[in-house]
């Protein structure tokens, strides 16, 4: 029986990628995402429809249609009518075709429940900006108007269509003290709709991907079912170096002068870390022989990471911004973000990777002043254009390429090349950081849709 899926906040379709690669019989009956760049990538990756729907439609009609969907060029605000009109006609037609092809309903705030197709599986990886510690912390109160508050728009879909399965994904602070009340309120609402909820924090590095990316996943199941059990860890020896391209364009390398300034201090990485003039911090440095501070209380071991230097001074993030960090390719990648803005991809030194974030805690104090981790996983990818640098054996430093960032999300190279045809590098970086690691989704879906305990019923469904 075909699994009918509705991907809300769909991005480039990581959920569909996971279902596809597992060989599950599925059909995406609808998507919802106002970011037209992401929709162009989604269409390129997931559809094989050569029909030009825009061919016989007047440009003015296309403009009105896109305006009604409240499409966005930056994922932050809808485009005005004038902004849409200024797009090249071919671009408008391409965007129109991509929304039609993917049955993208546009902004989740704009469509009504009567336009939503019936479906079995609803996925909602809603925006994290107002929940993440690195964001503005505006929260996601119902009716607040924040981007993270779009979660509550999902109610109109769930209460009317009652899909059998739901999948929520978001950043770790969603279940922290600051947002616990709203999270519990959401869970209680789902329970009142007849769902049973199962949630857990999973880290990509525990599922064969060299990126240190912790995310909350919640599976909700309607009615009677077999108890859901989250997948166990799948340890791997993969490291950042395993996703690096053998040859990259010159434009990804930084200047020799900037590299030389770092290398002068990099013979002893710990000494570099304790240089206050370089860090622009209070000199409070934690040298960890085994774990980073954010992992100490965890029940599992983490590949140790090391940040080997800082390219320039800044007051951002406590004086230690991701924009200037250099990591070792023998390690695990830091968390990828959307990498938007100048010089913002995470940076590494070959062969070793580091992960350090000077981010404020929920109390407002900086917890991750500096983490020295000797290990082999990437930090979390996000959607901010933070330059990831690698130093090769000749000690040249370069940014991680968009392809390398997509690999750190466990995306296939073939999917990347399809998206590359329709999007710029800056959008490809952003799309990687905004996505869900495919390997984690595949592990979850195996538990959901295949046999869990040999009971012959296959996964958690009793149907």
Cβ neighbours around 42 below 10 Å, total: 29
Q: How far does Cα 198 stand from its chain's mean position?
A: 21
Q: Given phi > 0 = left and psi -120 to 50 = alpha, else beta, which region is 106?
A: left
For 216, the token pair is 């909350």
For 366, the token pair is 């900086």
Measured at the alpha carbon of residue 132, what is the angle toward residues 380 and 44, in degrees to the nearest 5?
Answer: 60
Q: Contact, 211 vs 333, CB < 8 A?
A: yes
351 cis-preceded (ω within 30 degrees of 0): yes
Q: Which one, of 406, 442, 436, 340, lies nearest residue 7 by Cα?
A: 436
Rounded Cα distance between 123 and 214, Å, is 18
Q: How far does Cα 286 stand from its chain's mean position?
A: 28
Q: How far does Cα 212 stand from its chain's mean position?
A: 12
Q: How far does Cα 265 stand from its chain's mean position?
A: 33
Rounded Cα distance between 289 and 384, Å, is 30
Residue 405 is a catalytic residue: no
* Set 128, 154, 405, 423: catalytic member: 128
DSSP annotation of 193 reads: T
Residues 6+ apart with CB under 8 A from 123: 5, 6, 7, 8, 10, 15, 166, 167, 169
Residues 6+ apart with CB under 8 A from 200: 216, 217, 230
Q: Which one, of 208, 115, 199, lies nearest residue 157 by Cα?
A: 115
Q: How far does Cα 130 stand from its chain's mean position?
A: 15
Q: How far does Cα 415 stand from its chain's mean position?
A: 16
For 405, the token pair is 């960032």
Residues marked active site are found at 128
């Amino acid at each position: 029986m075909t699994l009918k899926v509705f991907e809300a906040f769909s991005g480039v379709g990581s959920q569909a990628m996971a279902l596809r690669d597992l060989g599950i019989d599925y059909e995406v009956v609808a998507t919802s995402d106002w970011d037209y760049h992401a929709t162009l990538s989604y269409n390129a990756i997931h559809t094989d429809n050569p029909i030009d729907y825009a061919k016989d439609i007047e440009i003015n009609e296309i403009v009105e249609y896109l305006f009604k969907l409240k499409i966005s060029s930056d994922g932050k605000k809808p485009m005005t009518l004038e902004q849409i009109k200024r797009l090249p006609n071919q671009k408008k037609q391409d965007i129109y075709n991509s929304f039609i092809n993917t049955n993208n309903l546009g902004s989740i705030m704009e469509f009504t429940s009567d336009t939503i197709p019936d479906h079995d599986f609803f996925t909602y990886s809603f925006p994290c900006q107002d929940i993440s510690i690195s964001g503005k912390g505006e929260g996601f109160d119902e009716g607040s108007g924040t981007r993270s508050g779009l979660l509550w728009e999902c109610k109109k879909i769930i209460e009317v269509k009652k899909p059998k399965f739901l999948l929520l994904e978001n950043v770790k602070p969603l279940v922290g003290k600051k947002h616990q009340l709203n999270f519990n309120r959401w869970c209680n609402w789902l329970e009142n709709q007849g769902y049973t909820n199962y949630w857990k924090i999973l880290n990509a590095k525990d599922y064969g991907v060299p990126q240190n990316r912790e995310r909350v996943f919640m599976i909700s199941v309607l009615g009677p079912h077999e108890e859901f059990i989250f997948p166990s860890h799948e340890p791997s020896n993969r490291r950042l170096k395993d996703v690096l391209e053998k040859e990259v364009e010159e434009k990804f390398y930084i200047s020799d002068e900037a590299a030389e300034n770092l290398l002068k201090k990099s013979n002893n990485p710990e000494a570099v870390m304790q240089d206050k003039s370089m860090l622009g911090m209070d000199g409070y440095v934690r040298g960890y022989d085994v774990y980073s501070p954010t992992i100490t209380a965890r029940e599992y071991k983490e590949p140790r990471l090391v940040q080997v230097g800082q390219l320039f001074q800044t007051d951002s993030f406590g004086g230690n911004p991701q924009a200037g960090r250099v990591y070792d390719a023998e390690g695990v990648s830091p968390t990828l973000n959307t990498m938007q803005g100048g010089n913002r991809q995470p940076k590494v030194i070959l062969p070793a990777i580091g992960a350090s974030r000077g981010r404020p805690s929920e109390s407002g104090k900086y917890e991750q002043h500096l983490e020295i981790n000797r290990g082999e996983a990437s930090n979390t990818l996000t959607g901010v254009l933070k330059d990831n640098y690698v130093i090769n054996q000749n000690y040249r430093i370069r940014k991680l390429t968009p392809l390398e960032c997509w690999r750190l999300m466990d995306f296939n190279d073939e999917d990347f090349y399809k998206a590359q045809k329709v999007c710029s590098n800056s959008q490809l970086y952003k799309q990687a950081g905004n996505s869900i690691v495919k390997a984690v989704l595949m592990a979850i879906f195996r538990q959901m849709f295949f046999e869990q305990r040999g009971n012959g019923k296959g996964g958690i469904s009793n149907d």
